[in-house]
Chain A
Amino acid sequence: MPLLAFVLAVGLMLLIVIVVVYAERKVAAFMQDRVGPTEAGPHGTLQPLLDVLKLLQKEDIIPAAADKKLFAIAPIMIFAAVFAGFAVIPLAPTLVPAGIGIGVFYLLAIISLDVVGLLMAGWGSNNKYAMLGAMRSVAQIVSYEIPAGLAILSVVMICQSLDFQEISYQQGVLINYFPGLEYELNWLFGIEALGINTTYVGGFFTWNIFRAPVMLVAFVIYFIASLAECNRAPFDIPEAESELVAGFHVEYSGFRFATFFLAEYAMMVLVCLVAVILFLGSWNTPLPNFGPLALANLTTGNPGGITGIFWGAFWLISKTLVLLFLQLWARWTYPRLRVDQLMHLCWKVLTPAALAVVLVAGVWRLLMV
């Protein structure tokens, strides 16, 4: 089963990345009143595949003055760090590559390896722009890990678990199927005193943002911080074309550039998957059970069976794609932040807000039991 999950994770990641690369071009085009790629395939759908083919054909240039070893390892390092994060992401009720008990914590730790790869790339290129880009990128990622980590911490406090799969089970009608949660009940907003039992209603009523409404704030904080962690606009000063040419990957071409590109989009997919799992009900259906109209049971399928896996993966990926669209939308809507605005947002807005959310989440947890 873990092997199947691994193969599925690789395949899905590549598929989603290709979809996102295509969507990026099309969404950008629509927002700027253009048409976007139209030539390759129907509506230009083959464009991302052809882009990859073109990149793979190109010559692999290593600058003469670069530090050859670091230059060569850096893209692999960055991609390995991002891809290792996918190991703990549950795809469906019974499908998870590595269901370790401290998955959330592991994910936070393994993503920070990314930073070392960026420094390698920046230094190894032996180029001012690359070095500056890497420095900015690392400073930004390290700072924004704090609000993101605090937002995740508040989820962990509400769910009382560091296991992605347990957190997923808690947010739907399958809660009693998870070993250890057989007698748990879900209440509306997590408060039993309201007297509305949502355990068998499921749907979006049992998502974390509804189990504890303070999670909605945590979700917004996490989403903003995650944009910064994958160097997306409006936080793309590490790659600011107008001042830094292209940032840390300015010297890279061909296959190595493709690896960077893949790692960057894989990171976007990963942070969106984490947001969906922690806040938006993971692989659970958004449709609740209305009395005899058991939409939640219908769209959850048979846990452990093939329908369960199909529905789980379907909901997880659909929600992730919605969040990815939000990321693209933000990119083509907001101008780039200056460095001082970036740091102001992180340290004076997001971090205090995240600390307050952690406090409220702790109090909420006391009300929940």
Chain B
Amino acid sequence: MLFYIFAALAVLSAGYLVLTRNLLYAGFSLLVTLLSLAGIYVLLFADFVAVLQLMVYVGGVLVLILFGIMLSSRVHDDSVLSKSSNKIWGTLVFLFVSTGLCYTILKTNFSLLPWLQAAETDVLGYQKSTVQSIGIKLMTDFVLPFEVASLLLLIALMGAAYIATENQKV
């Protein structure tokens, strides 16, 4: 039941996000989409991913987007409104992708998928949260991608600091 509420919210707000012409309203409906997705993650026993979604996307990316919109346009300026362009190509791509997705979904025999059968059992077991197992996995099996990702973020940070400095002679 909760799933259907969250799913409906996510779909409706995502639809509004695409259809509205006001960029700022689009940003705020992205908030609703991200929140309802976080709710769905919780229902899937992925509490850590849900909170991470709130932390990174709502607390970081969304605020950055809103800041960008607000700083780059004056109040009640036309630049907050986006124009619709590429109507034909957009419709074609949409039809193409949705046909492919519908075909795949209709072809799948859901009851035989192994990971769906495994989901019947209690995923978390005696643990209260997935944090412990995620931490152990990150420090053992996936330590190389984890470290590479942190290096990438560090480089991005240094790059941002370099671009933002006024005196480029350094």
Contact = CB atoms under 8 A, between A and B. Distances in A.
Is the A/B pair a real complex? yes
Given A109-B58, A163-B128, A138 B63 contact: yes
Interface string A111-147: 0110110011011001000010001001000100100
Interface stretch (B48-56, B87-95, B147-155): B48-56
B58 A112 contact: yes
Contacts of A244: none
Interface stretch (A26-34, A100-108, A208-216, A328-336): A100-108
A280 to B, nearest CB: 24
A328 to B, nearest CB: 28
B75 A102 contact: no
A335 to B, nearest CB: 28
B128 A123 contact: no
Nearest to B47: A102
A162 interface: yes
A110 interface: yes
A183 B66 CA distance: 50
A82 to B, nearest CB: 14
Nearest to A128: B75
Interface core residue of A109, A113, A120, A131 (most chain B CB under 10 Å): A109
A112 B51 contact: no
A131 B54 contact: no
Nearest to B35: A113
B166 to A, nearest CB: 15
A70 interface: yes
A109 B75 contact: no
Interface string B28-67: 1001000000000000000110011011001110110011
A116 B76 contact: no
A70 B80 CA distance: 15
Contacts of A163: 128-129
A100 B129 contact: yes
Contact of B131 (A102, A116, A142): A102
B63 A120 contact: no
Nearest to A166: B128
B47 A110 contact: no
Contacts of A131: 70, 75
A138 B51 contact: no
Highest count of chain A CB atoms <10 Å: which of B28, B51, B58, B66: B51
B76 A126 contact: yes
A124 to B, nearest CB: 9
Interface string A157-168: 000001100000
A126 B75 contact: yes
Contacts of A105: 48, 51, 55, 131
Contact of A138 (B28, B58, B67, B129): B67
B26 interface: no
Given A112-B55, A113-B59, A162 B129 contact: yes
Contacts of B75: 123, 126, 131
A112 B57 CA distance: 10
B129 A119 contact: no
A116 B29 CA distance: 12
Nearest to B24: A123
Among B48, B54, B127, the most chain A Cβ lie within 10 Å of the Cβ of B54
A123 B59 contact: no
A285 B76 CA distance: 56
Contacts of B60: 112
A228 B60 CA distance: 18
Contacts of A116: 28, 31, 58, 62-63, 66
A115 B131 CA distance: 26
B66 to A, nearest CB: 5
A138 B68 CA distance: 13
Contacts of A126: 75-76
B63 A119 contact: yes
Contacts of A119: 63, 66-67, 70
A120 B28 CA distance: 9
Contacts of B28: 70, 116, 120
Interface in B106-158: 127-129, 131
Contacts of A109: 51-52, 54-55, 58-59
A163 B28 CA distance: 31
Interface of A: 65, 70, 100-102, 105-106, 108-110, 112-113, 115-116, 119-120, 122-123, 126, 131, 135, 138, 142, 145, 162-163
14 contacts: A70-B28, A101-B128, A101-B131, A102-B47, A105-B55, A109-B54, A109-B58, A113-B58, A115-B59, A115-B63, A116-B58, A131-B75, A135-B71, A163-B128
Given A100-B128, A122-B70, 6 more contacts: A100-B129, A101-B131, A102-B47, A106-B51, A108-B55, A119-B66
The 10 tightest CB contacts between A and B, nearest first, are A101-B129, A112-B59, A101-B128, A109-B54, A109-B55, A109-B51, A105-B51, A119-B66, A106-B51, A102-B129
